[in-house]
Each structure stands twice: as C-alpha cells, then as structure tokens.
Amino acid sequence: MIKQANYDLFTQGATEEIVAILERELIERKESPFWAEKVVPFTRAIMSVLVPLQKAGLLFDPEGRKAEALTPELFFRWSDFVSLKMLAFTLQKSNKSGVLERTKLESGACQGYKPIDLQLLGAYLSLYSVNLENENLDFPIANYNLHQVVSNVIKSLLS
C-alpha cells in the first residue's frame, strides 16, 4: 500500500519530490546503485509525459479511457513497458497531428491537445532497444522483464 503522502505527490504531479523520495529510500535501504540507475530515469521519463497530460485534463489509462488524476495505480499501469511504448507512439502521433489520438476521450477535449516534449521518454526508451521509428518492431523480452522488476522496486520504495 502506497503511503498517503506519496499518493498525494502523484496526484499533484510533484515529479522531483517523488524522485527525491525514491532516491532517499534507495540510500536508506542500502540498495545497489544499479537500482538508482534504473528507478530514477524511469520515473522521470514516465512523469515527463503523464504530468503534462494531467495538467491539460487529458490524462488517460492504457485502454484509452479518461483518468481523473495521476495516481500511483495509473503510474504503475503505464510503467508496464508495452504500455509505455504505446504511450510514446500515441503522443508522438498526437504531437504531429495536434490532436490527442488513439484514446476514448471526448473528441472536443482531444482537439485542445498541446504537443508534449517526448525527449526524456524517447531517450529512455531508446536506451532499452525500443525502436522509436517503427511501432511494430519489438524489443528484447529481457528489457520488458527488467522494467517489471523496476516497477516492483518503485512500489516497495513508496510503501
């Protein structure tokens, strides 16, 4: 169970505060530096796109349904590597068209979409062999498995 204070930080979109908590917990729990190298950039990459979506009132879940708030549960749903890849391509397509694509949100709201900077997310995904040019190309299963573990580490650090 996520601590209420940490839960509130997600709903407020407090990326740097969340990262600071994760870094502190990694140190206090004497975790290997390996995890800091994975957890911190992963968190920043996801939050770099979810926070702007939340601020614009266009936050959605991996099934494309409207989400009212950026909760830890939604964060962890997007932290699935397949979902995160899909989110990156959805936003890339949306940035090109100027309309939020591939969601079930009300079309009028999607028309108000403003391009989101994908630099952090793209850089992160490319480090793990995600082809950012062709959505149909797969990535190594080892990268998927690693990110499932990273999500579990983040959950434990926030609990």
Domain range annotation of the chain: 4-158
**Model confidence pLDDT, tens digit, residues 23-59:** 999 999 999 999 999 999 999 999 999 999 999 999 9
More confident residue, 147 or 74: 74
Q: What is the pLDDT of residue 69?
A: 95
Torsion region of 143: left, alpha or beta (phi above 0 gives left; psi -120 to 50 gives alpha)? alpha
Q: What is the pLDDT of residue 84?
A: 95
Q: What is the pLDDT of residue 50?
A: 98
**Model confidence pLDDT, tens digit, residues 49-92:** 999 999 999 999 999 999 999 999 999 999 999 999 999 999 99
Secondary structure in 3-state letters for 107-158: HHHHHCCCCCCCHHHHHHHHHCCCCCCCCCCCCCHHHHHHHHHHHHHHHHHH
**Model confidence pLDDT, tens digit, residues 101-135:** 999 999 999 999 999 999 999 999 998 888 778 88
